[in-house]
């Protein structure tokens, strides 16, 4: 058993090359020491901040911890999810996720054997289509 107290996790700013707006990331390194293919991140987005469009080569699970998560899969309407909700992204799906306009959002991202390929920023029009 391992415990990862939130206060012990280093926080780094999100990479402006791949994110629009302010946010931060805590890597939970070695969450599954026996399976290095599993990577866990706690990601915080300020209101309206979001990832660029991107794909993952493996599954991604997004556990919403606080706030409202705005998300979209290419070709589908913008959606929103709240605390306790789980979003599962299939390998290869082009998508984005971030905070809704009303306030900050935090999710835990659990990536399984997944390399991320980054695309273009989500435009204001795309974001506001929600
Ligand atoms: Mn993703």
**Residue 24 CA, ligand 1 centroid: distance in Å:** 15
**Residue 4 CA, ligand 1 centroid: distance in Å:** 23
Q: How confident is the model at residue 35 (pLDDT cuts 50, 70, 90)?
A: confident
**Residue 122 CA, ligand 1 centroid: distance in Å:** 13
d(CA 34, CA 59): 18
- Note the pTM of the prediction, 2 decimals: 0.94
d(CA 48, CA 101): 5
Query: Quick one: pLDDT at residue 2?
Result: 87
Pairing of strands 95-99, 38-45: unpaired
Q: Is the pLDDT of residue 30 over 90?
A: no
Measure Cα distances from 24 to 42, 64, 93 in Å: 8, 15, 24
**Residue 104 CA, ligand 1 centroid: distance in Å:** 17
**Residue 2 CA, ligand 1 centroid: distance in Å:** 26
pLDDT tens string 36-64: 789 999 999 999 999 999 999 999 999 99
Of 86, 64, 68, 92, nearest in space to 78 by CA: 68
d(CA 43, CA 130): 21
Query: Quick one: pLDDT at residue 29?
Result: 77
Percent of the chain with pLDDT over 70: 100
Helix or strand holding residue 45 (H, E): strand 38-45
DSSP β-bridge partners for residue 55: 117
Mean pLDDT within 91-109: 98
């Amino acid at each position: 058993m391992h415990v990862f107290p939130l206060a012990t996790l280093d926080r780094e700013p999100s990479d402006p090359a791949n994110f629009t707006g302010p946010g931060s990331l805590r890597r939970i390194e070695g969450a599954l020491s026996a399976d290095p293919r599993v990577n866990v991140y706690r990601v915080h987005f300020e209101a309206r901040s979001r990832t660029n469009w991107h794909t993952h080569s493996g599954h991604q699970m997004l556990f919403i911890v606080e706030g409202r998560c705005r998300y979209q899969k290419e070709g589908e309407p913008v959606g929103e999810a709240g605390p306790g909700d789980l979003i599962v992204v299939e390998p290869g799906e082009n998508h984005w996720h971030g905070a809704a306009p009303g306030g900050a959002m935090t999710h835990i991202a659990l990536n399984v054997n997944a390399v991320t390929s980054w695309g273009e920023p989500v435009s204001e029009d795309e974001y506001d289509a929600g």
